[in-house]
Amino acid sequence: MDRKKNKTILVIVIAAIASTGGLLFGFDTGVISGALPFLKQSWGGMSSGQQELITAAVLIGAVLGAFSAGRITDIIGRKKVIIITSLIFAAGSILTGLAPNVTFLIVSRIILGIAIGISSFTVPLYISEISPTKIRGALVSSFQLMITIGILVSYFSDLAFADEANPYSWRWMFYVGVFPAIILFVGMIFLPETPRFLIGKGREKEGMKVLKRIEDKERVETAFNEIKMEIEKDRKSVGYAELFKKTWRIPLLIAVGIMFVQQFVGINTVIYYAPTIFIIAGFGGAKAAITATVSVGVVNVLSTVVSMSVIDRIGRRKLYFIGLIGMAVALSALGTFFLLKDNLGDSLKWVTVGTVLVYIFFFAISLGPLGWLIISEVFPTRVRGVGMSIGALSNWFFNAIVAYTFLKLAWLFTAPGMEIVNNNAAIPDPNPAGAFFVYSGVAILGLIWGLRYIPETKGVSLEKIEEHWRAGKKPNELKQ
């Protein structure tokens, strides 16, 4: 086999191992959906406030993790931080499984959340810095692929451990998270630190060694010199203060902006509430609704694969626009169907599932992978850790807002007489039409914002991107 091929295989293996962090992200956020019905019955019953806190704990932890670890990745390195995170993941999984009471469980879920928050930016950061330019998009997107696989695995594992006779079935659902954590820990020990971090710390020989293993032979020298040159330019000032300088205002805006759009198009109302939405649309019981939810998980994974195979050819901007147009249409259609619920009758549940799948497809080919990819590309090397942590922090913060306002938003826009009563339930459900129209509005705003702010980073080295901002140029002027 020729050398080039060997190198490509090596970086694919590196990306695959590191992106186990994405699997843990997806698994540990998704696992709660199937665990909640059992938790409700544990310890003699639980209030809805306690259930909300148990769910929210992971998001709170993620905000804390993303906030606190940015500087650390720039100081001790990407690799070490990921290794530490894998240990927190393992501890969090065991502690949540062992929990003897609600408070213990909430604290353990916060610990798990901290690991999710840290890994959500260190893993794409690590992969992006270790990838050769021409396949960087696909490799960083493997992180998103693992998130979607993690979500799907959690749905299946919840199904497997769900034992109606045992209210403590959730313990094993949580314990399972230990296995990917061990894989990540062991795998990362054997992986190299990124050349950009090493060269930035003056460990040039080591950096060069890693570059030789991953870059095409003809590009090694150039890549080394480019990295060195860019690092020289910002050697003096590192940290948050540097990031808020005028030169880096644009990348910062891009990172926060893309995460705003990614979350406020309502993705997690589907990921966290799909069974609820499907029951509102008319599915008879939790089981049928959960089965329909599995199809969402499957389409999410498959569409991410589609995205990975084209992201370095079609480019980031086109995918962004195609995805958002598709999502805006699907969300408006969902809103319209729920408005016409009386005319649609029983078919409402089928058009709802169909349209949610279309929506997931468009999300998974665009904003899913693009959110994490773009924030890993736009920052200069010296502050990439801090910059990405701000991107991740925004992601988790916006995620929490959407997750906690979805049902309230749905009620806000449910005019009297528009409530939905299913299966003779005593309490009616809200009509989510209004909420879907709001998310559709965000998708349209995202389109307008993106025209100006989404850079085409396809085929452009991280150093060239950095140079582009330094020259004071606009994001939509970036070209290969």
Kindly state whether residue 395 participates in binding ligand BGC, applying the rule CB under 6 A: yes
Kindly state whether residue 147 participates in binding ligand BGC, applying the rule CB under 6 A: yes
- Residue carrying the six token digits 């959340």: 113
**Between residues 194 and 399, which has the closer beta carbon with respect to ligand BGC?**
399
Kindly state whether residue 399 participates in binding ligand BGC, applying the rule CB under 6 A: yes
Kindly state whether residue 307 participates in binding ligand BGC, applying the rule CB under 6 A: no
Kindly state whether residue 381 participates in binding ligand BGC, applying the rule CB under 6 A: no
**Between residues 262 and 431, which has the closer beta carbon with respect to ligand BGC?**
262
Considering only 93, 268, 332, 355, the residue that binds ligand BGC (CB under 6 A) is 268
Rounded least distance, CB 467 to ligand BGC, Å: 28
Considering only 148, 154, 332, 355, the residue that binds ligand BGC (CB under 6 A) is 148
The span of 41-49, 86-94, 147-155, 234-242 binding ligand BGC (CB under 6 A) equals 147-155
Rounded least distance, CB 307 to ligand BGC, Å: 11
Considering only 368, 430, 446, 475, the residue that binds ligand BGC (CB under 6 A) is 368
Rounded least distance, CB 339 to ligand BGC, Å: 27
| Residue 454 CB partners (closer than 8 Å, separation 6+) | 254, 258, 316, 317, 320, 374, 475, 476
Considering only 271, 299, 328, 462, the residue that binds ligand BGC (CB under 6 A) is 271
- φ/ψ of 107, rounded to 5, equals -65, -40
Kindly state whether residue 144 participates in binding ligand BGC, applying the rule CB under 6 A: yes
Query: Could you give the CA distance from residue 162 to residue 169 in angstroms, rounded to a whole number?
Result: 6
Q: Which of residues 224-263 bind ligand BGC (CB under 6 A)?
A: 262
The span of 188-196, 264-272, 440-448, 462-470 binding ligand BGC (CB under 6 A) equals 264-272
**Cα-to-chain-centroid distance, residue 347:** 32
Query: Could you give the CA distance from residue 90 to residue 87 in angstroms, rounded to a whole number?
Result: 5
**Between residues 34 and 380, which has the closer beta carbon with respect to ligand BGC?**
34
Kindly state whether residue 300 participates in binding ligand BGC, applying the rule CB under 6 A: yes
Considering only 18, 191, 250, 267, the residue that binds ligand BGC (CB under 6 A) is 267
Rounded least distance, CB 300 to ligand BGC, Å: 5
Rounded least distance, CB 272 to ligand BGC, Å: 8
* End-to-end CA gap in the chain: 30
Binding site for ligand BGC (CB under 6 A): 144, 147-148, 151, 262, 267-268, 271, 300, 368, 371, 395, 399
